[in-house]
Amino acid sequence: MTIRDLHRARRLLCQLQDHIRDLLIHARTGQGTKFGRVVAVTAADTIYHVDRISEHAILEWFSENWPRAWPVELVMEGLEDAEAVTFPHGTPVAKTAFKCILDPIDGTRNLMYDKRSAWILSALAPQRGARTHTGDILVAAMTELPTTKQWRADQLSAVQGQGVIVEGVNVLDGTRHRCKPTPSRERDCLGGFASLTRFFPEGKALTSALEEKLWDSLYGLGRQPSPLVFEDQYVTTGGQLYEIIVGHDRFIADLRPLVFAKLGYPDLLLCHPYDICTELIAREAGCIVESPLGGSVRVPLDTTSPVGWVAFANPALARHLRPTLQRLIKEMLTA
């Protein structure tokens, strides 16, 4: 594909996400408690009625709007128990040119409780069958699903090597304006937000112990009355990446696969490839996103592979934090 083609694909993903956002905003005004009803439990996650609304909208949109000249396989939370879904309908996977991975609602519980924004995430990669991985992604888009009191919802998108496009969308009248993402330029975490993911009770003590040692090794603890580092547990991977991209957070690490493996827990709710599929946007904004022990995040574009990841707002922060973080991971999680 040419750069022009890739930008057309980017715009298509943004249009799809606009459609989903507007549909969900309309649906929640009239569905009450039904909006958050559990309808299925799959290998990847718990599926709610609100998820089903978005899934049906996505399938319909692809049928009506995706270019027939670009046959695509759709990989999406909620479809993991079904046969391969391709567009045009019935196209053999081997005959598709692209694989599109989607999370219709990343942060469903935030949306259900009207607590904080959720996100629609999607990305496109050349089709390489089961070998297709996150490192193959060429185009990504993410769109905010706002709370009821918000009038603005942000949309971020990127083509590999072409930078980031950010727009603020007025959900009341549809008007849009360009924004400029500005990740933090700070060289340490002092006085800023930096977090290790511990959304759930499982693994919380071990994760917290590692985090405490991280900050103690870097800055020393208990030596002054004012806290050194602040944290924020935003229960959505897309939302966490957004906080890094726009300069709210300086560092986030999701070590759940390593923590749960160390504790001998069975499969628990983890980050999956569809959750991290928009990390291209963070990298295009100048952030560093990598695996916990270094190297690119390379996992299959499926719905069940566990993903650990680390994001730094800038290269200087990565150089500052990485050695100590990796040493502690090796000592506490992989030894």
Q: pLDDT band for position 42 (50/70/90)? A: low
Amino acid present at 165: I
Indicate if the pLDDT at residue 224 is higher than 80: no
Q: pLDDT per residue over 284-297, tens digit each?
A: 999 999 999 999 99
Residue type present at position 73: E
Residues 295, 213 share a domain: yes
| CATH number reported for the structural domain that contains residue 66 in this entry | 3.30.540.10
How many Å is the maximal CA-CA distance in the chain? 65
49 and 154 part of one domain:
yes
Domain assignment present for residue 188? The answer is no
pLDDT at 326: 98
Q: Are 204 and 168 contained in the same domain?
A: no
pLDDT for residue 37: 65
Domain containing residue 234: 193-334
pLDDT digits (tens, 9 = 90+) for 177-215: 999 999 999 999 999 999 999 999 999 999 999 999 999
Instruction: Please give the average per-residue pLDDT across 149-175, as a whole number.
Output: 97
* pLDDT score, position 43: 54
Boundary of a domain, candidates 179, 209, 241 = 179
Task: Return the half-sphere exposure (C-beta side, CA atoms, 13 A cut-off) of residue 295.
Answer: 5
Last residue of a domain, one of 123, 149, 179: 179
pLDDT score for 292: 98
Contact yes or no for 135/146 (Cβ under 8 A): no
Distance of alpha carbon 46 from the chain centroid:
17
> Do residues 16 and 153 both lie within one domain?
yes
Confidence of residue 49 (pLDDT cuts 50, 70, 90): low
Q: What are phi and psi of 235, to 5 degrees?
A: -80, 65
pLDDT of residue 222: 84
Confidence grade of residue 79 (pLDDT, cut at 50, 70, 90): confident
Residue 185, domain member (yes or no): no
Whole-angstrom Cα distance, residue 253 to residue 187? 17
Asked if 242 and 145 sit in the same domain, the reply is no
pLDDT of residue 266: 81
**170, part of any domain:** yes
- Return d(Cα 272, Cα 304) in angstroms, integer: 6
Coil/strand/helix, residue 182? coil
* pLDDT interval class at 269 (50, 70, 90): confident
pLDDT at 56 over 80: yes
Let me know whether 75 and 119 are in one domain.
yes
pLDDT, one tens digit per residue, over 104-140 is 999 988 988 899 999 999 999 999 999 999 999 999 9
Dihedral sign for Cα atoms in the order 311, 313, 315, 321? negative
Q: Based on the fold, state whether residues 293 and 175 are members of the same structural domain.
A: no
- If asked whether residues 171 and 197 sit together in one domain, one would say no
Give the closest residue to 139 by CA, choosing from 252, 15, 287: 15
Please give the pLDDT value at position 111.
86
29 within a domain of the structure (yes/no): yes
pLDDT value for 1:
85
Closest to 190 in 3D by CA, of 326, 321, 290, 324: 321
Q: What value does the mean pLDDT take over residues 56-65?
A: 93
Identify whether residues 32 and 148 lie together within a single domain: yes
Q: Is residue 250 part of a domain?
A: yes
CATH number at residue 311: 3.40.190.80
Q: Examine the domain organization and report whether 37 and 168 are in the same domain.
A: yes
Q: What is the mean pLDDT of the chain?
A: 92
pLDDT of 50 strictly over 90: no
Q: Which residues, other chains included, contact 51 with Cβ-Cβ below 8 Å and sequence gap of 6+?
A: 39, 77, 78, 104, 105, 108
**Phi, psi (rounded to 5 degrees) for 78:** 105, -20
Q: Where is pLDDT greater, at 33 or 140?
A: 140
Q: How far apart are CA 123 and CA 143, in angstroms?
A: 12
- pLDDT band of 82, cuts 50, 70, 90: low
Q: Going along the chain, which residue ranges are E strands? A: 38-41, 46-48, 72-76, 85-87, 98-106, 118-126, 139-145, 152-159, 164-170, 176-179, 193-196, 249-254, 288-290, 309-312
State residue 195 phi and psi, 5-degree precision. -145, 150
Residue 7: how many CB atoms within 10 A of its CB? 16
In a domain, 187, yes or no: no
Q: Which residue has the tokens 């966490």?
A: 240
Q: Are residues 171 and 222 in the same domain?
A: no
In a domain, 236, yes or no: yes
Last residue of a domain, one of 121, 155, 179: 179
Determine the pLDDT at residue 53.
75
Looking at the domain assignment, is residue 111 inside a domain?
yes
- Across the range 38-67, mean pLDDT stands at 76
Report the domain count for the chain.
2
Residues 9 and 109 in one domain: yes
